[in-house]
Amino acid sequence: MSPVFTPARPCLTGGKEFAEVMSQQSNINPNNLLHGNLASDVTTKTGCGNTDAPWVIEVPEGQRIRLTLYDFWLNTSSSDRQAPSPGNPICLVYATIKEGFDTPPRSSTVCGRQGPRVHRVFNSASNRVEIRVQQARENPPKFILRYEGLH
């Protein structure tokens, strides 16, 4: 069963949407923000990007969005880094991605501690996605989701 998503209330920083604030800091036009990083640590410390205030990534019309996971899980033993399989569907949920706002929306789960530390986790079919980082109470995982606009 797919997760149930509520309408997005994008995370705001000082009354401005996060993408606008970040683009001003890096001197990039907010309407042409083509790449960036979302750190789990930011969600842990600020609440931005959690289930109530998801990250909303939007690139110009006609582009798509690629998300790549950079997993900083410290334990590198093979027993802790397992690839999912039909007999072994292990998934430590790091985030959920929602794309499309029709019924039903397309959704995907970002699983951590699996496969290589850096790997692609999602390619959108549209120019807008919402990302909700799951927050652990104790010892939250450290990761970055890199987003890139694709032509």
pLDDT above 90 (res 118): yes
DSSP line for 61-130: TT-EEEEEEEE--S---TTTS---BTTB---EEEEEEEE-SSSSPEEEEEEESSS-SEEEEEE-SSSEEE
CATH topology of domain 12-150: Jelly Rolls (2.60.120)
Tokens linked to 95: 């985030």
Residue 110 is predicted with a pLDDT of: 94
pLDDT above 80 (res 33): no
Distance of CA 56 to the CA centre of its chain: 9
- pLDDT, tens digit (0-9, with 9 covering 90-100), for 79-97: 444 555 555 567 889 999 9
Residue 71 is predicted with a pLDDT of: 94
